Structure 1
């Protein structure tokens, strides 16, 4: 798909992002690594300390980031926006459980490990692709990547977004 003036902004973002992700191996790597990076960022934000006994609970900074990102996604496409809300909810439940079960230190260690390994995988994929990662041209692509992966999944399910 080539970007055209009559396309929605999200479609233009996806067309550009897809141009940097043509190789099937790189696409498969991204389908695994992008959600892993997204989860690891949520988990890292979850680990930011909050004052004891206050209004804020662990995960508040992750929640605020997810609300902000959700607003972006819903404006881009309602279907993608609500899909990303579902993804955020699932990742939050997982992160809450890991935090409650294993504590902040283990969650932090796991999040850092996943973050590093997933980014290494991304750069390996781009080496195979022969193209630089999209976010090096515009940081907005850090938000586009997760929605692009979701859109690929929705397309396979026959759901228009």
Structure 2
């Protein structure tokens, strides 16, 4: 069994309740987005900023590498999600919305929702046992879509 399959099976164990799954379907990609937004908002040194690169770009590279190590299709799907998130951050900036304030508020709301979902589920979040599950959550979200599109992972 591949590592991704083991991780997804373990993650799935604490995500069986339909309400919790629905909450996670909304909260997990939202948290990925706002985490990138918060990283985006942290100022970078001038020598990095001249290349129009943010901490979100820098952190995204090893994160996407990890996803590609787990699975090519999941890596590709997470690359698409990352690009969409960067686009969302650009839209926030273009609209004159404070990226860090918006993302911080949504971050808190989405994490509260996830903990409510786990209270309903009656099981603690997977990441409390293994921090890798913070990255497995978005992969788990994508696997549901990949299966619906009949694409293996």
TM-score w.r.t. structure 1 length?
0.89
Answer yes or no: is 1:110 the counterpart of 2:134: no
State the alpha-carbon separation in 1 of the partners of residues 53 and 106 from structure 2: 18
What is the CA distance between 1:145 and its match in structure 2?
Answer: 0.3
**1:151 aligned partner:** 143
Q: Which runs of 4+ in 1 moved over 6 A?
A: none
**2:63 aligned partner:** 69
What is the CA distance between 1:83 and its match in structure 2?
Answer: 0.7
Aligned-residue Cα RMSD (Å) equals 1.4
Helix, strand or coil at the partner of 2:16 = coil
**1:125 aligned partner:** 117
* Larger relative contact order, structure 1 or 2 (CA cutoff 8 Å, min sep 6): 2
* 8 Å contact from structure 2 (residues 43, 54) kept in 1: no
What is the CA distance between 1:51 and its match in structure 2?
Answer: 4.0
What is the CA distance between 1:135 and its match in structure 2?
Answer: 0.4
Unmatched tracts of structure 1, length 5 or more: 1-6
State the alpha-carbon separation in 2 of the partners of residues 59 and 155 from structure 1: 34
Answer yes or no: is 1:86 the counterpart of 2:108: no
What is the CA distance between 1:62 and its match in structure 2?
Answer: 0.2
State the alpha-carbon separation in 1 of the partners of residues 37 and 49 from structure 2: 16
State the alpha-carbon separation in 2 of the partners of residues 59 and 129 from structure 1: 40
CA distances 1:30-85 after superposition (whole Å, capped 9, x unpaired): 01000111111000000001345x44256520011111110000011001101100
Q: Residue 50 of structure 1 is aligned with which of 22, 44, 51?
A: 44
What is the CA distance between 1:99 and its match in structure 2?
Answer: 2.1
Aligned length: 152
Unmatched tracts of structure 2, length 5 or more: none
